[in-house]
Chains A and B, each alone.
Chain A
Amino acid sequence: MRRNELVVSPALRVSTLAILAAVTTVFTIFIRIPSPARGYFNLGDVAVAFTAFTFGPVSALIAGGVGTALADLVGSYVQWAPISLVVHGLEGLVIGLIARIRPDSAATCILAGAVGIIVMTVGYFAGGLLLTGMGPSLAEAPGNLVQAAAGVIIGLPLSIAVAKAYPPVRRYSW
């Protein structure tokens, strides 16, 4: 089977998205640091950034959004699920699109990460504005910024490490 046939296989796409979404959920659920306003800090952004750098923008959009929303549904933060679905999905999409321009360029990856951090912080600020008002949203913005930045700082080396340790991972990006 030729490589392009492998990539467009619907079964392979569904499998990739499902497992990456599950990875994102596990990263979000298993490591939680309680936060007063947002609920908790977690490694979900690490999974979103890793997916974006490794598998591309579409995978990051779907797996990042669904994974974090699923984590909110499973936890006691159900009301944040729609916001997580949109914000983390956009975060992954933006990082993946920018990183894809020049994947081997460090500057491009850093730019992608920076834009992703901004998208995540602004997105949760806007969502928090609707749910909790200006005060708590502003108070939580620095924490979200740190969480998103940590996600990119850990996610990019993780992507490089996984690609080096397991080269076939590159076949699953589109």
Chain B
Amino acid sequence: MAVDFYHPGTSRLHSFDARAKLILLVPAVACFFLPVPFWTQLPALAGFGLLIIFSLGVSELWKPLRAIGPVLILICVLTPPFTRNGVPLLSISGFPLVTSTGLQATLSTVTRFAGITLAFVAVFRSMEPEHLALALQWFGAPYTMALTFMLALRYIPSLGATWRNVQDAHKLRVAPRAPLGREPPGRPRSARALPARSPTRWRDSLPVLTSVLIQAVKGIPALAVALECRGFGRRAPRTSLLALKTGKGFAGDLIVCLIAAILLVAPPFLLRL
């Protein structure tokens, strides 16, 4: 399972500094909230679309548009009823369904949502996660926050694999309808192998979720030890699970060693004399 929000490329957008892209994201989003006619925002919308096409490809433009398609339809359907002042454009039995103001509000909201979506896509799809973490640090975020973000990103695939393994293991625990050797005669083998009733989905999910969470939690101390071995958090002297003797115990051992050393080294010289 590939988990990343970065779409590789060699365009100018990709090489643009991550901090600059994040700074530019603010006015890029803000421009769609300005109290101006929607058609004045269409060039910005088109610009982001073209930027995505030339930097990331047509497929990267199509994916977010397909994702927000239902939302745009919902905006078109539900916005006019909430904005019924202005000149009625469509009425049923005297009840205005769509007015000029409602149509403008709908088009403005559609432009805004699509524009913000494309702005975010252009920025984050062309930014490597590591650059995002570095940029956040540059803006003042603590190193621990950036490290947490990067570690989380790296752990997602392994947790996803754990999820699938646990799911498969629990599926194998579903009992067959009848014990082997006691199958009713004449029934096809495939029917005998299936459970009589599929378990309730949520009830079967709880053991899977519990197992996945326990597996995840068990990884916490291992990761912490790995970080500490790399010197993370060393503002104070590194701690140790074990400790050697100190004080009188250590002095006593030192004296014994000194005496032993003298007894080992001195006699040959004394014997030569």
A-side residues, CB < 8 A to B, are: 1, 5, 9-23, 25-26, 29-30, 36-37, 39, 43, 46, 50, 62, 66-67, 70, 73-79, 81, 130-136, 138-139, 154, 157-158, 161-162, 165-166, 168-169, 172
CA distance A37 to B3 in the complex (A): 24
Known: A29-B3, A168-B217. 11 other contacts (CB 8 A): A14-B147, A18-B148, A18-B152, A19-B220, A25-B156, A70-B149, A76-B64, A132-B71, A132-B109, A136-B75, A172-B217
Do most interface residues of chain A lie in helix, strand or loop, or is the interface mixed?
Answer: helix
18 CB-based A-B contacts, threshold 8 Å = A9-B224, A10-B144, A11-B225, A15-B224, A18-B147, A25-B152, A26-B159, A29-B156, A37-B71, A132-B71, A132-B75, A133-B78, A135-B81, A135-B82, A136-B71, A136-B74, A138-B78, A158-B209
B-side residues, CB < 8 A to A, are: 3-5, 33, 63-64, 66-68, 70-71, 73-75, 77-79, 81-82, 105, 109, 112-113, 116-117, 120-121, 124-125, 144, 147-149, 151-153, 155-156, 159-160, 163, 202, 205-206, 209-210, 212-214, 216-221, 223-225, 227-228, 232-233, 239, 241
The reply to whether A70 and B152 contact each other, CB–CB distance below 8 Å, is: yes
For B241, list chain A residues within 8 Å (CB). 1
For B78, list chain A residues within 8 Å (CB). 133-136, 138-139
A-B contact count (CB 8 A): 187
Question: Which one of A14, A26, A81 lies within 8 Å of B148 (CB-CB)?
Answer: A14
4 A-B pairs with the lowest CB-CB distances in the bound complex, closest first: A135-B78, A18-B151, A10-B233, A76-B67
Given A11-B227, A154-B206, is A23 in contact with B67 using a C-beta cutoff of 8 Å?
Answer: no
Question: Which one of A66, A78, A132, A172 lies within 8 Å of B64 (CB-CB)?
Answer: A78
CA distance A14 to B220 in the complex (A): 9
For A172, list chain B residues within 8 Å (CB). 217, 220
